[in-house]
């Protein structure tokens, strides 16, 4: 039923892209979520809607928007081309597409998690002499951690499965930008069903294990 | 000694108070929404007043005129939160040592051994428990130990007895009185309970929509009767 997979490149690239995206998303998303969870400012709803937009837009629209930025004649793309750097149709573009599309999932989960932390605990830490950074790492982050982990897993899974935007900005170049989802699509297109089946099995089992493990871990935390 | 004059515009009224307290228990008494907790937040530096000043033992902590605003971390004011705000993911030991780790090497005053404090409060055996495994009274003692371990110059208490039953309440009031005698620092206690006010308050400020009405005299008269009642209640 399953054939030996001859080309492991899509699997390795997908994992690498998902991992790097989640790291970028965490570095940008956690401080932003923390800020938005506690601060009120003019135009906050507008910013929130903009951050959440990639979650609800069709991935092809996100891909189009990315092309406007990093395409050969794009706003950023043109400047980079002058320096001899091309982003479109490279694996960097794959990372960018996955990052943008998966970002809102992490942001939403982390923001809800930060909001669920009792503000009085942070205030208590302040009166005990703890600085803001120390409070974040010893009080806020540990208490928000289950929600943040859920966000990490969701965004990892979303990055791993990203298809539409990836195809538009990075294409499907075997050995360069081909990920598991795009490889599955083109394998089916060209009638290589065994390859498609194997890739489907790999991504399904892997995703299942990740979700299963996180759920178990979350349950243990509650007890 | 603590002296404060504070104004702060809240959304439904203007808070405007001025008080001075020596090493006594000052009670802020009033209905919920009268600005009691806001005053504690202003004193601790968790909120900023619109104008006024806060002075503790001659040290200016806040003054709009002199543009002084000491951070809550550096004010050295202990705060016992309503519901106690113990860190739920830390053991009793980690909770009471939390402030000490922050202050290490910064203060000139010698800090206290939190374990001894816990022992003196009769909860020394709970060191490795988590807050969710404690009763209301135990939580309060742990929270007190945590606040006092950093040797505050003032202790603020927000509805300290709201989370315990009536019987425990009477006992805790007595303990708090004793504690105050040992520590000899200003205690500022927020309550809406008249019995608390009469039993504990050396001085009572009655708050109504952010304004003060000094009730000390009327309360002393009232409290004499109630204290007697309390005493008999405890003996039973």
pLDDT tens by residue, A35-58: 999 888 999 999 999 999 999 999
Rounded CA separation A29/B233 (Å): 57
Kindly identify which residue of chain A lies nearest to residue B156, measuring between CA atoms: A127
- Asked whether B78 and A127 are in contact (CB, 8 A), the reply is yes
Render the burial of B182-193: b for 16+ CB within 10 Å, e for the rest.
eeebbbbbbbbb
ipTM of the complex: 0.85
Domains of chain B (ranges; CATH) run: 2-76+153-235 (3.40.50.300), 87-152 (no CATH)
- In angstroms, the separation between the Cα of residue A117 and the nearest Cα of chain B is 11
Please report the sign of the dihedral spanned by the C-alpha atoms of residue B205, residue B207, residue B212, residue B218.
negative
Interface contact B150-A128, CB threshold 8 A: yes
Q: Are A95 and A88 in contact (CB under 8 A)?
A: no
Q: Tell me whether residues B81 and A126 touch, CB distance under 8 A.
A: no
What is d(CA B184, CA B192) in angstroms, rounded to the nearest whole number? 24
Each residue's pLDDT tens digit, B181-228: 999 999 999 988 888 888 887 888 888 888 887 555 444 434 444 443
Beta carbons within 10 angstroms of residue B151's beta carbon? 17
Alpha carbons A121 and A223: distance in angstroms, whole number: 21
User: For residue B30, what are its two tokens?
Assistant: 């009033």
- Interface contact flag, B79 A139, Cβ < 8 Å: no
**B85 close contact with A: CB closer than 8 A:** yes
Interface test with A, best of B56, B78, B81 (most A CBs within 10 A): B81
CATH architecture group of domain A9-222:
Orthogonal Bundle (1.10)
Query: Inter-chain contact A128–B85, Cβ cutoff 8 Å?
Result: no
Mean pLDDT of the region A21-35: 95
Read off the pTM: 0.82
Interface of B with A in 27-56 (CB under 8 A): 41, 44-46
pLDDT value of residue B35: 87
- Interface contact B79-A123, CB threshold 8 A: yes
Mean pLDDT of chain B: 85
């Amino acid at each position: 039923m399953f054939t030996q997979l001859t080309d492991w490149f899509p699997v390795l690239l997908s994992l690498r892209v998902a991992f790097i995206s989640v790291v970028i998303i965490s570095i940008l998303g956690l401080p932003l979520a923390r800020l938005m969870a506690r601060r009120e400012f003019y135009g906050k709803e507008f910013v929130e809607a903009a951050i959440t937009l990639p979650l609800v837009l069709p991935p092809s629209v996100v891909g189009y928007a990315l092309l406007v930025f990093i395409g050969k004649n794009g706003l950023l793309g043109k400047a980079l081309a002058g320096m001899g750097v091309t982003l479109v149709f490279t694996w960097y573009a794959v990372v960018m597409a996955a990052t943008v599309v998966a970002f809102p999932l992490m942001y939403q989960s982390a923001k809800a998690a930060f909001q669920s932390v009792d503000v009085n605990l942070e205030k208590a830490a302040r009166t005990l002499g703890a600085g803001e950074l120390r409070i974040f790492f010893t009080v806020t982050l540990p208490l928000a951690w289950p929600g943040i982990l859920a966000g990490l897993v969701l965004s990892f899974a979303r990055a791993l499965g990203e298809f539409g935007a990836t195809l538009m900005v990075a294409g499907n170049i075997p050995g360069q930008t081909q990920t598991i989802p795009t490889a599955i699509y083109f394998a089916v297109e060209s009638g290589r069903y065994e390859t498609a089946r194997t890739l489907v099995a790999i991504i399904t089992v892997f995703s299942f294990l990740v979700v299963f493990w996180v759920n178990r871990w979350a349950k243990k935390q509650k007890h | 000694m603590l002296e404060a004059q504070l104004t702060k515009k809240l959304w439904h009224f203007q808070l405007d108070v001025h008080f001075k307290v020596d090493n006594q228990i000052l009670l802020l008494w009033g209905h919920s929404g009268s600005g009691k907790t806001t005053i504690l937040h202003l004193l601790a530096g968790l909120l900023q007043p619109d104008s006024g000043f806060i002075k503790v033992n001659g040290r200016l902590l806040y003054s709009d005129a002199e543009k002084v605003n000491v951070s809550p971390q550096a004010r050295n004011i202990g705060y016992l939160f309503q519901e106690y705000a113990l860190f739920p993911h830390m053991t009793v030991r980690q909770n009471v040592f939390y402030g000490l780790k922050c202050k290490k090497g910064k203060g000139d005053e010698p800090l206290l051994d939190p374990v001894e404090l816990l022992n003196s409060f009769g909860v020394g055996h709970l060191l490795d428990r988590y807050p969710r495994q404690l009763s209301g009274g135990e939580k309060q003692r742990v929270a007190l130990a945590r606040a006092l371990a950093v040797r505050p110059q003032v202790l603020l208490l927000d509805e300290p007895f709201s989370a315990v039953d009536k019987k425990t309440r009477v006992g805790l009031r007595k303990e708090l009185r004793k504690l105050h005698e040992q520590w000899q620092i200003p205690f500022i206690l927020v309550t809406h309970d008249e019995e608390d006010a009469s039993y504990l308050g050396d001085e009572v400020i009655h708050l109504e929509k952010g304004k003060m009405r000094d009730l000390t005299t009327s309360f002393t008269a009232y409290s004499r009767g109630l204290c007697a009642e309390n005493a008999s209640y405890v003996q039973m």
